[in-house]
Amino acid sequence: MKLTGVELRRISMPLVAPFRTSFGTETTRDVLLVRAATTDAEGWGECVAMTAPLYSSEYVDAAADVLRRFLVPAVASVSSAVQVAPALARFHGHRMAKAALETAVLDAELRASGVSFARELGAVREEVPCGVSVGIMDSIDELLDAVGGYLDEGYVRIKLKIQPGWDVEPVRAVRERFGDVLLQVDANTAYTVSDARHLARLDPFDLLLIEQPLDEEDVLGHAELARQITTPVCLDESITSARAAAAAIRLGACSIINIKPGRVGGYLEARRIHDVCIANGVPAWCGGMLETGIGRAANVALAALPGCTLPGDTSGSSRYYRTDITPPFTLRSGHLPVPTGPGIGVDPIESELTAVTTGTEWLAL
Ligand code: SMG
Ligand code: MG
């Protein structure tokens, strides 16, 4: 397989409802899609960087820039996806940009050989249970309406975004209204270790986990916090590689890991993190970054791995978009089917893709 070029395509996808977290409100996803053209097949990757560097240091314009100037030229002579990360290793950071490029190459390679992502990664399930991430709202009533709607749709696990001032009360309200539903919270780094006593007030609510309460660099702080609360600590932002995962587990900073391929440089590193989790008896689950159907297809395959034992943030297309750019992912009894076709197993719908495209750029190799 030889790469002939890479297309960078920007699309603008309005969300069905604003999604508020401790770091800001997302109303439209400005997505960068990477299409790898090869002599044998073409493949797609979705860059999960947001418009602004608020979730992590990456943002979509920077991802496009580093791909154009450094990453795409560096993969000119790769002939397989396993060669992509080594070819990019001398460039520091930019994992979301690297992940999108590696995924596009992997998709092309797997399409050419007729193998699905699920098969390649080692999936053991044909469908995956789905959770949903519920943003911060203006009132508890509004939150209860949203959670009730998602439970009616069949979601098997609810994640509430929290921040100081919106934590114990929303959790209490959801517990009181919806009983023993699987429930977890995500703070996106909004607290410090000095909030440990406050966060311990979440202990009585029997949460599955608290995700990334502290700064992404505060691994020791998470270990300290984990000793002071009974809710299991799960790391998201802090886990940027399999090495970081192994270290965080060893330090006692987390007992659960959220795996996001974009955050860690791609699906091959994501699988290594999954393997680290299995080796340590640490439950894992597949996170989400408000992906379109392109990114969702590959995430659902990852969520079907044996070590992904908790429901992921792999919601149906309608949770995000009125019209997806692929045939929509639709929940069946709280589950999504794992694509079985070659590569990511879904194709963009040409007319939908064209309708949301704001720019394309062809980088010949
Ligand atoms: O894709 O359903 C989704 C979003 C899940 O909450 C979600 N993602 O920290 O886990 C997280 C956030 C990051 C993106 S917030 C805009
Ligand atoms: Mg998170």
> Which strands make up the sheet holding 24-38, listed edge to edge?
42-47, 24-38, 3-21, 357-364
| Tokens, residue 284 | 């894992």
The confidence score (pLDDT) of residue 59 equals: 98
Residues 6+ apart with CB under 8 A from 276: 242, 245, 246, 249, 282
Residue with CA at minimum distance from ligand 1 atom 6 = 133
Question: What value does the CA radius of gyration of the chain take, rounded to a whole number of Å?
Answer: 20
Average pLDDT across the chain, whole number: 98
List the catalytic residue out of 2, 98, 159, 260: 260
Continuous segment of H or E residues that includes residue 297: helix 293-303
| Tokens, residue 112 | 């050419």
Nearest to 300 by CA among 272, 337, 271, 334: 337
162: number of Cβ within 10 Å: 25
Q: Strand pairing partners for 234?
A: 211, 256
Structure confidence by residue, pLDDT tens digits, 300-325: 999 999 999 999 999 999 999 999 99
Cα dihedral: 43, 19, 51, 351 (round 10): 40
Query: Do 338 and 327 touch, CB atoms closer than 8 A?
Result: no
Alpha-carbon distances, residue 300 vs 78, 109, 214 (angstroms): 27, 19, 28
Tell me the CA–centroid distance for residue 133 and ligand 1, in Å.
Answer: 7
Tell me the CA–centroid distance for residue 279 and ligand 1, in Å.
Answer: 26
pTM over 0.95: yes
For residue 287 and ligand 1, the question of a CB distance below 6 A is answered with yes
- Could you give the percent of the chain with pLDDT greater than 90? 100
Q: For each of the domains in the chain, give its residue range(s) and CATH number, in order of start.
A: 3-113+347-364 (3.30.390.10), 118-337 (3.20.20.120)
Structure confidence by residue, pLDDT tens digits, 236-276: 999 999 999 999 999 999 999 999 999 999 999 999 999 99
Question: Closest ligand 1 atom to the C-alpha of 24?
Answer: 16
Structure confidence by residue, pLDDT tens digits, 178-202: 999 999 999 999 999 999 999 999 9
Alpha-carbon span 329 to 312, nearest angstrom: 14
Q: Is 161 a catalytic residue?
A: yes
Kindly indicate the confidence band of residue 86, based on its pLDDT and cuts at 50, 70 and 90. very high
Report which bound ligand comes closest to the CA of 186: 2
Nearest to 47 by CA among 77, 6, 75, 82: 6
Q: Is 159 a catalytic residue?
A: no
